Structure 1
Amino acid sequence: MEAKPPLPPFTQETAAQKVRLAEDAWNTRDPDRVVLVYTDDTRWRNRAEFPVGREQVRQFLVRKWAKELDYRLIKELWACSGNRIAVRFAYEYHDNTGQWFRAYGNENWEFNDQGFMMRRYASINDLAIKESERKYFWPLGRRPEDHPGLSDLEL
């Protein structure tokens, strides 16, 4: 299996790179691409779901992005040590009725020596917002370099 740099043990710099790569992948909303950064036997907790393995994760992501429309995500490094990274994030989306939401969360990640994520534990809360309260306006896809991050947006 080919490595997925940056590799552990992480520094602040390499952990921040790993976080941005994850953000970029998730902003594609392409489950087939996103699952390639996880081990074949990855274990997740995402809200009240517990997918195990790439295929269950892929199915989870297909369901997620079918419901969370116009999804845009920002992640930020919180802490790192060895092969673990803690992340905080917020994303915006709307449902099929047009109601907008901002989801706030924290993730704990654990990587193998080749840089693939073995564990992902996420706690997430959704807040209904008015469309006028949205803060993420870049075109769907990668967040532009000049777009503010979470701390800059005071999220």
Structure 2
Amino acid sequence: MSLMPPFTAETAHLKVKKAQDLWNTQTPSEIAKAYTPDSIWRNRSSFIRGTSEIEAFLTAKWAKEKSYRLRKELFAFTDNRIAVQFWYEYQDAHDGMKWKRCYGLEDWTFAEDGRMRKRQMSGNDVEIGEEGRWFKEGVDVNEVDIGEEHW
């Protein structure tokens, strides 16, 4: 099944889960291959262009965000665009290894070959305790029941 645009509900959902799984590898060089060479990003307050900047950004991200676990869910889609809602948890290496969860939204625009050519991300971090974690070791992120108050 092709995961290139135009998307259907099924292919958009699969594209989101493929991105989720790829990001959970935390392998910047492999992740960067999913983007066009001239891809543009806004990630919070960072503006990034091209796969080399993407790779450098992700390398720095995971130097800070330890024990990273991510879940993405399809929010909406059109022919070549997908919007996702996401949650991820991590230990902040720049803040005493405190556990945090990021809540966010992304909008993605794809090139004809299926690689992402634009990614816009907005997210907010919330400090959580060990007891408040969802994505503990051995837990399938896709099976966690995330209540409506977090959607």
TM-score (norm 1): 0.89
* 2:42 is the alignment partner of 1:49: no
How many residue pairs were aligned?
145
Please list every run of at least 4 consecutive aligned residues from structure 1 whose deviation after the TM superposition is greater than 6 angstroms.
none
Residues in 2 aligned to 1:34 and 1:18: alpha-carbon distance in whole angstroms: 13
Shift of 1:145: 7.8
Aligned twin of 2:13: 16
Q: Pairwise mapping of residues 124-139 of structure 1 onto structure 2 (< 5 A)?
A: 124-139=123-138
Shift of 1:146: 6.2
Aligned twin of 1:109: 108
Kept after mapping to 1: 8 A contact 2:71/2:88: yes
* 2:143 is the alignment partner of 1:147: yes
> Which deviates further from its counterpart, 19-28 or 92-101?
92-101
SS at match of 1:113: coil
* 2:54 is the alignment partner of 1:61: no
More strand by share: 2
SS at match of 1:64: helix
Residues in 2 aligned to 1:128 and 1:145: alpha-carbon distance in whole angstroms: 19
SS at match of 1:132: helix
> Larger relative CO (CA 8 A, sep 6+): 1 or 2?
1
Aligned twin of 2:87: 90
Kept after mapping to 1: 8 A contact 2:135/2:141: no
Aligned twin of 2:33: 36
SS at match of 2:146: coil
Pairwise CA RMSD: 1.4
Shift of 1:144: 3.6
Residues in 2 aligned to 1:145 and 1:124: alpha-carbon distance in whole angstroms: 18
